[in-house]
Amino acid sequence: MPAMKVLHVAAEVFPLIKTGGLADVVAALPVALAEQGADVRLLLPGYPMVLDAVQGVRTVIDIGACFGALRVRLLLARMPGTGLQVYVIDAPYLYRRSGGPYQAQDGEEWADNLQRFALLGWVAAHLAGGEVDSQWAPQIVHAHDWHAAMACAYVAEHPSRTAATVFTVHNLAFQGLFPMTDWNLLGLSSRWMSPQGLEYHGQLSFMKAGLQCADKVTTVSPSYAREIATHDYGCGLDGVIRGRGADVVGILNGIDEALWNPATDPAIATRYDAERLAGKRECRRALQAELGLALDDDALLITVVSRLSAQKGLDLVLAALPELLRDGRVQLAVQGTGEPALEAAFRMAQAAQPGRVQVRIGYDESRAHRLIAGADAIAVPSRFEPCGLTQLYGLRYGTLPIVRHVGGLADTVTDGVTGFAFDAATPAAFERAVQRALDTRGCGDGAWARMVGAAMAAHFGWDGPASGYMGLYQGALARRG
């Protein structure tokens, strides 16, 4: 039986371009699918860091002028490390610029993001239509988050399409909203201009294109799939999601257990596993020394590796911090970037307690590994969390998660067994969870060690999720007939 041909369409992929967990998923899931027999390729925008990194580049087709760019080419190359085949859209006017994938260096959204990411979806649809690469056309187009969602609309627009589409919501809060007056730039028929199409309260919604047009919609955890169908978590799209009924499913994300493995990790001070936890203690002391924290073996060292935003609940950490630091039993190490007010508040916390709090604004992948290996606990107190990956990294490294019982956090952390969970999004609730962690670590009956062992024994690799997606793809293809 021929291998199923699957095209993953996304705006970022680790290690080439990363702003969050989306990049980790797009790096790992296609590889896991290939290991289960699928013929998988990626489609990415031609950012400078992508073009500089991919290998064996050749031109598939010279597309010409479209979406405001004078010159557009589609390249085929291989990903470094995995060797996975990747299509890259080389459109210098749209993608070759400094700054991030979505924002300029000053933090402002790129004014032409509609054209930049409509082009991504448009090329995916033409690949699916067999018009682009005479050697390969996907049976499944799997679009990730709003940046790739237009692929589902462009495929649906094709009158004789055979490819099926799957759309994964990684975070419903980011929706890709644009003025309705820019409709003509998309090149779609007017039937999509209604509330049954892409119109969302007088704007264009790329996220809605994926939710409405895909054959199957997935989220990155079962709990989040249920939550986004409610008013509290649906971000104004809960009615659309409820309308899709059983077509919306949750498949829990995995992690790359080879990349995130304390027994082989080259980034950490001492490698360790569940049978050699002395190495974790050495990682802890090395982290304290690296960051300038007091070399205190008794303190509960908590880390945060996160985008600094209210969604991530980090204002709860800041509000609880004075009480948690009052008796010197807690240390906090933070890495992240995000909302300026939160960045400034964490810097102020460090200035007030330099031996107890250390903050690194920005993101460094190797340091993230050291922070997770060296800490006792990792805080993920999100107001909502589609899946979350840092708590999974924490479990893998025996760093017990302190999480809010929501979304993927509820699906992956068992309170009192592999971590500590709390319900209310309040500083007091977070503080109580930390106090429980302090009490457990200090009780001397081996409870902390048992929890560390249970955490490290948990399995969150990509083999199970990949099997789930393979079944979903079969169902989507069966629908297309």
Mean local confidence (pLDDT), 79-105: 95
Q: Give a yes or no: residue 262 inside a domain.
A: no
Beta bridge pairs of residue 330? 300
Q: What is the pLDDT of residues 351-409, one digit of tens each?
A: 999 999 999 999 899 999 999 999 999 999 999 999 999 999 999 999 999 999 999 99
Is it the case that residue 1 has pLDDT exceeding 70? no
Residues 376, 475 within the same domain: no
Indicate if 115 and 203 belong to the same structural domain: yes
State mean pLDDT over 203-219: 96
Q: Identify the CA nearest to 142 among candidates 17, 33, 257, 3.
A: 33
**Same domain, yes or no: 409 and 446:** yes
Domain-embedded: residue 261: no
pLDDT on residue 119: 98
Based on the structure, what is the number of domains in the chain?
2
Q: Are 441 and 374 members of one domain? A: yes
Instruction: Name residue 287's beta-bridge partners.
Output: none
Same domain, 23 and 73: yes
Residues 344 and 434 in one domain: yes
Q: Quick check: helix, strand or coil at residue 468?
A: helix
Q: Before 15, cis peptide (omega within 30)?
A: yes
Do residue 249 and residue 292 come from a single domain?
no
Average pLDDT of the chain?
95
Whole-number Cα distances in Å, 65 to 68, 157, 160, 304: 7, 21, 25, 45
Tens of pLDDT, residue by residue over 151-169, are: 999 999 986 678 999 999 9
Note whether residue 272 is domain-resident.
no
Of 318, 320, 322, the residue nearest 342 (C-alpha): 318
Is 264 domain-assigned?
no
pLDDT tens-digit map of 128-153? 999 999 999 999 999 999 999 999 99
pLDDT confidence bin for 237, thresholds 50/70/90: very high
β-pairing, 248-250 with 216-219? parallel
Residue 226 lies in a domain: yes
Enter the pTM of the model.
0.92
Structural domain boundaries, residue 166: 5-254+463-480
Cα torsion for 17, 18, 23, 27, to the nearest 10°?
A: 50
Question: Stretch 231-244: mean pLDDT, rounded?
Answer: 96
Q: What is each CA distance from 425 to 304, 380, 409, 422, in whole angstroms?
A: 17, 12, 14, 8
Strand duo 300-305 + 377-380: pairing: parallel
Do both 219 and 323 map to the same domain?
no
Domain contains 178: yes
Q: How many other C-beta atoms lie within 10 A of the C-beta of residue 238?
A: 17
> Over 80: is that where the pLDDT of 73 sits?
yes
The owner of tokens 């090329």 is 123
13 secondary structure, DSSP code: B
Give the CATH number for residue 156. 3.40.50.2000
- So what's the pLDDT on residue 435? 97
The yes-or-no verdict on residue 45 having pLDDT over 90 is yes
Residues 299 and 191 in one domain: no
Tokens for 226, please give them.
């249920």
92 and 128 together in one domain: yes
How do residues 423-468 score in pLDDT, each as one tens digit? 999 999 999 999 999 999 998 789 999 999 999 999 999 999 999 9
User: What is the per-residue pLDDT across 47-62, written as a single tens digit (0 to 9) for each?
Assistant: 999 999 999 999 999 9
- What are the angstrom distances between the C-alpha of 74 and each of 101, 129, 145, 152, 268? 18, 15, 22, 19, 39
194 pLDDT above the threshold of 90:
no
Shared-domain flag, residues 167 and 70: yes
Q: In this predicted structure, what is the pLDDT of residue 99?
A: 87
For β-strands 140-144 and 5-9, DSSP reports them as: parallel
CA angle 125/117/168 to nearest 5° reads 70
Gap between the Cα atoms of 325 and 300, Å rounded: 10
> Is residue 309 located within the same domain as residue 220?
no
Query: For the segment 282-324, what is each residue's pLDDT rounded down to a tens digit?
Result: 999 999 999 999 999 999 999 999 999 999 999 999 999 999 9
Amino acid at 403: V
pLDDT of residue 160: 66
Report yes or no: 51 and 58 within 8 Å, Cβ to Cβ: no
